[in-house]
Structure 1
Amino acid sequence: MKKVNIGGVPEHFNLAWYLTLKNGEYKEENINLRWHDYHGGTGAMCKALREKEIDIAVILTEGIIKDIIAGNPSKIVQTFVESPLIWGIHVAAKSNYTKIADLKGTKAAISRYGSGSHLMAYINAENNDWNQEKDLDFEVIKNLDGAVEGLTNGDADYFLWEKFTTKPLVDDGTFRSVGNCPSPWPCFVIAVREDFIASDEATLKTILEIINNTTADFKHIPSIDKTIANRYEQQLEDVQEWLSLTEWSQELIDKETINEVQNKLLKLDIIPHKVDYNQLIYTL
């Protein structure tokens, strides 16, 4: 049986992977797919791909594009979630900050440099016409638990993380939401190490066929909203809103979208230069 390691965030976006694993669909194809949760998000997964801890990552589009340009020997093989990620902008419940404008020049908590929370802080700054050199400052907090500690202790002032994942922390009075910052492109892609593609392309195709069959009909799975609410400890109405906003994809990310992401990252000085579309993607 072929062993394959895959990584992703432990969030509702990836429930389809859990369901297909639970159903034994990969083992039926003689594939031992092992899922690894990355609480540290994109930056942690980029590191795991580079160090060959995982073969495949379900990862934020802007984060993996940045890291491939920086030398990560991986390729994007498919869009996973077509819709934008809605990043909630959070402060500690007892913070004096009440709106996004109040956060200008304060310190953003980020999971690590190069992570989604880091890159989206730049997008938020641009959206609000801030000076990215003067008005942005960062505190590395590793993960969501670190953000709770950092904001509560005053080590950082605000934190960008997926809105629905952090909603329970808003509901219980740990965080307060001051606004949202949607990503300007499809949020999650599937990235694979180049050496794995070269040696196991047939295995990869089988894995994608299985997951795509599930995501294509994901919203029609009976009581899927209740399943998500229970598994991720969320309010049913929040899950239903999230499902209404979220669209999965079974297609390769297009050249226009890749160009749009690179233009934005270059403008924000997050990447040193743009690269050709074919340096970032692989067509199966």
Structure 2
Amino acid sequence: MSLLRVGYVREHFSSPLLQYAHDDQEKTFRLVECPGGTGQLISRLTSNEIDVAMQVYHIFDLLLRALTDPLISGIANGSQSYRLVGSYVSTPLNWAVITGASSPYKSIADLKGTKIGISRPGSGSQTMAYVMALNEHWSPDALQFQVNNDIRGLIDSVNEESTAAFMWEWFTTKPWADKGEVRFIGSVPTPWPSWMIAAHPSPTRAPSDALRTFLHALSSYVTKFDAPEARETADVEFIKATFGYPEEDVKAWLKTVGYPSDCTIVSAEVIQDTLAVLSKAGVVKAATYDVKDFVDTQVASLA
């Protein structure tokens, strides 16, 4: 028996995946929750932690729904631990800029020269801080970071004022803002589609046939979730029941998010555009990259 291990972050974006996992009666894959976000997903894949369990079947690795920018910057900076095998969300991600409930910071401009909290080095929370700096015409070299591991650590940090702010997806952190535990002082949308899918390149850890089967099935769940009639009722009820979000927040988020019709297609233009922004931010070296080096073309189609 072969089992595909799928690392994911438990957020509303993962709804089609969770629906797929619920219906997977043959248990062809196993979800591995990574609350530390994309940085933790990449770290687990790189360090082989996702293979730790000793079981009677083969374990394969897949990072599902990881942020586009850390995945691409990791490969550009020489990582051999994964390659892109698909796309998951086709719209930008809106990152909230978040500070403590009683902190002195009122706007993004107030954060210049301060310390920014991140989940892990190489995470989306760090990459988007560089994008924020570019937008504000700050030097990326002037940014200071403190690693706080997960959302709880980030929230505690801004309230203890060991960091001035952190960045996280808007709707995921809105419940804490609604409770008055943190404050939003701005937002920065990604200059690229927000989520992609990556897998370990080893055929013994992530064989192409298993990945293709998984991705084609996932595409059907994404298509069902993305249907206009589902967005009106079924999606709203599923997210409310699964994540406890208020109905008005769910409906507002559904107006902003889009999914691809085929999860097995990776856009060459997205890779090139993302690299251009990351190069300006100093996250990757200014160089000429071959987009084929970023994609496992035995699994995904490069469009």
Q: Match for residue 83 of structure 1?
A: 91
Matches within 5 A, 1:1-284: 1-24=1-24, 27=26, 32-54=28-50, 55-58=61-64, 59-69=66-76, 70-134=78-142, 136-196=143-203, 200-219=207-226, 220-221=229-230, 222-249=233-260, 250-251=262-263, 252-272=265-285, 273-283=287-297, 284=299
Percent identity, aligned pairs only, is: 31
1:217: how far off? 1.8
Instruction: Give the alignment's Cα RMSD to 1 decimal.
Output: 1.6
Q: Is the 8 A contact 1:262 1:274 kept in 2?
A: no
Q: Is the 8 A contact 2:140 2:282 kept in 1?
A: no
Q: Is the 8 A contact 2:239 2:250 kept in 1?
A: yes
Q: Is the 8 A contact 2:98 2:165 kept in 1?
A: yes
Q: Tell me the SS of whatever aligns to 1:263.
A: helix
1:233: how far off? 2.3
TM-score computed with the length of structure 1 as normaliser: 0.93
The 2-side partners of 1:72 and 1:150 are apart by 33
- Between Structure 1 and Structure 2, how many residues are aligned? 279
Q: Is the 8 A contact 2:86 2:266 kept in 1?
A: yes
1:241: how far off? 1.0
1:198: how far off? 8.4
TM-score computed with the length of structure 2 as normaliser: 0.88
The 2-side partners of 1:234 and 1:160 are apart by 20
The 2-side partners of 1:133 and 1:16 are apart by 39
Q: Tell me the SS of whatever aligns to 1:105.
A: coil
The 2-side partners of 1:258 and 1:197 are apart by 27
Q: Tell me the SS of whatever aligns to 2:28.
A: strand
Q: Is the 8 A contact 1:3 1:33 kept in 2?
A: yes
1:64: how far off? 0.8
Q: Is the 8 A contact 1:93 1:175 kept in 2?
A: yes
Q: Is the 8 A contact 1:46 1:72 kept in 2?
A: no
Q: Which amino acid aligns with 2:270?
A: T
Q: Which amino acid aligns with 2:35?
A: H
Q: Match for residue 54 of structure 2?
A: none
Q: Is the 8 A contact 1:168 1:233 kept in 2?
A: no
Q: Which amino acid aligns with 2:4?
A: V
The 2-side partners of 1:95 and 1:7 are apart by 35
Unaligned runs of 5+ in 1: none
* Structure 1 residues 116 and 197: CA distance shift in structure 2, 3 A: farther
1:84: how far off? 0.5
Unaligned runs of 5+ in 2: 51-60
